Structure 1
Amino acid sequence: MGIYITVGRFFYDSYKRGKTLYAVTDKRIIIKKGGIKGQTVTLNIKSLQDISINEKPDGSGTITFNNNNSFPSFLGQSSWPGVKRTQAPAFEFINDVRTVYNLVIKQQIS
């Protein structure tokens, strides 16, 4: 357990991210997460109320959808053991994030 906490979780997270797929259609946002317990999240693109972008200088970044998280902000992005925290759906660590963001906005208003 100690090895997983110190090192293994980073390898597992990298594995999951490598198996995650993102899609934008004219009606939906689709996030198909990889890993041992795969999960697919679909969002109606017309009903999204909060879309935020976090862009890095190299043009990569993250787009977060419907981030209505009421979890205390002083805890940041981490969670305490035993506390279930739901994370807002997001396209994480994508290249050319501004182009994808503009595509989502265009599909939302059309």
Structure 2
Amino acid sequence: MPFLDPYAKEDLSIELFNGETLLWAAQPNPGFIFRIHDLFLTPFGIVLIAFGSFWLSVLNSGIFFLIVPGLFLVFFGIFLAAGRYFYDKRYRETAAYGITGQRIIIKSGVLSKRVYSFAIQTIKEISFTKGKNKSGTIIIGPKVSGRYTIGPGNTWSLGVPNLMEEIEDVKNVYDLIFEVRKKMKAERYNVEF
């Protein structure tokens, strides 16, 4: 039986077309997540904070145009070392994913909501990654080298809308997408599978 998270269902209901119903709706895992690239980005952020602080302590002469780069390094370092974890968490708290009989809907955004819609029949490639606890990420479309190392739920989204990340029971959701596609194909050609 497909899962319908009440918050995601309510959030996505205004995005549905007339006569369209949600078969599945959920939100990603809302907690803090430590990813493999954090092994590099967090220490790099700490180095930027240290270098920016050193820069500011040496330049206590008050020359404004020399203080700005130091402040930038400190603030960017704070973001890399800690801020992006909070942004990533907030991004996933506000995201909602849905599957209807025709399309996949991804609604996300921290400051403003964006809605992405993918017609299931036209998706050429779909894949998923699964963790030990059956949760994972569905990737809609082809993988691009490096694109998923800092994925959309992370603070470095770069506007990549085609991930349904950190969803529970990812394999069943993946299978549901193919069931919908199979049903659409059968209806199109009046064939029973």
Structure 1 runs (4+) deviating above 4 angstroms are none
- Residue of structure 2 in register with 1:67 after alignment: 142
Q: 1:48 to 1:10 in 2, by over 3 A?
A: same
Q: Tell me the distance in 1 between the aligned counterparts of 2:173 and 2:137.
A: 10
**Partners of 1:60 and 1:94 within 8 A in 2:** yes
Alpha-carbon distance change, 76 to 36 in structure 1, aligned in 2, over 3 angstroms: closer
CA contact (8 A) 1:67 1:88 kept: no
Structure showing the higher helix proportion among its residues: 2
* Distance of 2:166 and 2:128 partners within structure 1: 11
Query: Which residue in the other structure is 1:77 paired with?
Result: 149
Cα deviation for residue 34 of structure 1 reads 2.9
Distance 1:14 1:108 in 2: 32
Q: CA deviation at 1:85?
A: 5.0
**Residue in 2 that maps onto 1:13:** 88
CA distance in 1, matches of 2:180, 2:99: 8
The two structures have a TM-score, normalised by structure 1, of 0.82
1:68–1:95 Cα change, 3 Å: closer
Q: Which has the larger radius of gyration?
A: 2
CA-CA distance at 1:58 after TM superposition: 1.3
Q: Identify unmatched segments of 5+ residues in structure 1.
A: none
Match of 1:43 among 118, 133, 143: 118
Unaligned runs of 5+ in 2: 1-74, 152-156, 184-193
Residue identity opposite 1:51 in structure 2: I
Q: Tell me the equivalent position of 2:173.
A: 100
Contact 2:106/2:161 (8 A) holds in 1: no
Could you state the TM-score of these two structures normalised by the residue count of structure 2? 0.48
| Percent of paired sites with the same residue | 30
- The Cα offsets for residues 17-64 of structure 1, whole Å up to 9 and x where unpaired, read as 111000000111000003113211000010011000111121111110
